Amino acid sequence: MSNIVQANPDFIVEIGSGSGVIITALAAVLKDARCFATDINPEACIATSNTSILNNVSVEVCNMTLLTCFKEYLFDVIVFNPPYVVTDTEEVFGNGIARAWAGGIDGCEVINQFLKLLPNLMSSKGICYLLLIKENKPLEIINMLYGMKFNVDIVKQRKVPCEHLYVLKIYK
Amino acid sequence: MKLLTHNMLTSKCMKGVNIGYPLKIKAVDLKESEVDFNPDFISRIIPKLDWNVLVSAASSIGKNENLPEDLLPEYEKNTEFLKRVHHVLLEVDVVNGELICPESGRKFPINNGIPNMILNEDEV
Ligand SMILES: C[S@@+](CC[C@H](N)C(=O)[O-])C[C@H]1O[C@@H](n2cnc3c(N)ncnc32)[C@H](O)[C@@H]1O
């Protein structure tokens, strides 16, 4: 969090904001920035909007896939806790609640779709925080990001029962 | 949806759409609310906006606040001007209405301030 404050961002977005707790917490701290959120699930968008209103902060919520309807190079901070659980591909593209977690092969199908777009999403000082689990093969993802000329730091690793979580900081 | 957000949205990801910008706005319900004014923030983001799009979007929903067609020189020092920009960008919300793709005419509904930009499989 203090990392994000130091970056002095103007525009922050959370992709897949779900309940909205993360972007609401960011909005509460980052008074000098504008916060945005997207989710593919309309119920999640309403939940995010309600969470922000209850906490007296302003978050602009859009129901969309990733950031596909935003202009390019806008966001200084992008936060994404993606659906990363290893599942069948059908679950990733279905209509049900499974989209909240279903990541398809290696749990990476949505993650890969996102990373392909990432160079055009971030501003020149942009930073992306991405949450992964071990099954997503974080080292392969990091190597791919190096190939795309990004810098990558693993800013956090945590083992909780059944999951080994990683937070990557990705920047130009 | 605030006009700041409108300034950032496009429908270019649709099949057959080239620029998809700016989206037209059909506002059914508007709401105005007070947001803390931060002149430095407004000065910093003005260069990131499409100014002409902001002015015409504001006019199209009747909230122009006399914004000039051309950006004023030295606007950073003009607090009165920055206040008006602040109001138009951040204090006016389109609560219900539609965004309309300028090329395909595809309508994106706005409900409770949330634009629905989800496309069907055959549209991407
Ligand atoms: C693991 S959850 C994150 C939940 C949220 N960060 C929270 O703390 O409540 C993943 C979220 O991403 C959304 N999602 C899945 N695929 C998406 C996509 N392609 N674009 C946008 N959101 C997506 C899901 O609807 C779900 O809300």
User: Could you give all domains of chain B from N- to C-terminal order, each with its CATH number?
Assistant: 3-118 (2.20.25.10)
Q: Is the peptide bond prior to B22 cis by the omega test (within 30 degrees of 0)?
A: yes
Nearest atom within ligand 1 for CA of residue A19:
9
Residue A4 tokens read as: 């994000």
From chain A, pick out residues whose CB is under 8 angstroms from the CB of B92.
none
Model confidence over A120-130: pLDDT tens digits?
999 999 999 99
Residue A43, CA distances (Å) to A11, A50, A79, B98 in order: 24, 11, 20, 19
Q: Do A10 and B45 touch (CB under 8 A)?
A: yes
Mean pLDDT in residue range B70-99: 96
What's the pLDDT score for residue A96?
75
Cβ atoms within 10 Å, residue A28 = 13
- Minimum CA–CA partner of A121 in chain B: B8
Total domains in chain A come to: 1
Q: CB–CB of A44/A18 below 8 Å? A: yes
Helices marked H in chain A: 2-6, 21-29, 42-54, 89-92, 109-121, 138-147
CA of B52 to the centre of ligand 1 (A): 34
- The chain-wide mean pLDDT, for chain B, equals 96
Of A12, A13, A15, A92, the one to substitute when testing ligand 1's pocket (max ligand atoms within 8 A of C-beta) is A15
pTM: 0.96
Model confidence over B57-72: pLDDT tens digits?
999 999 999 999 999 8
pLDDT classification of B122: cutoffs 50, 70, 90? very high
* CA A96/CA A35 separation, integer angstroms: 27
Quick one: how far is CA A27 from the chain centroid?
15
What domain range includes position A140? 2-171
What's the pLDDT score for residue A79?
97
What's the pLDDT score for residue A161?
87
Each of the 172 residues of chain A gets a pLDDT tens digit; together they read 778 888 899 999 999 999 999 999 999 999 899 999 999 999 999 999 999 999 999 999 999 999 999 999 999 999 999 998 888 888 888 777 888 888 888 888 999 999 999 999 999 999 999 999 999 999 999 999 999 999 999 999 999 888 899 999 999 9
What's the pLDDT score for residue B117?
97
Over 80: is that where the pLDDT of B40 sits? Answer: yes
CATH number of the domain residue A98 falls in: 3.40.50.150
CB distance from B5 to chain A under 8 Å? Answer: yes
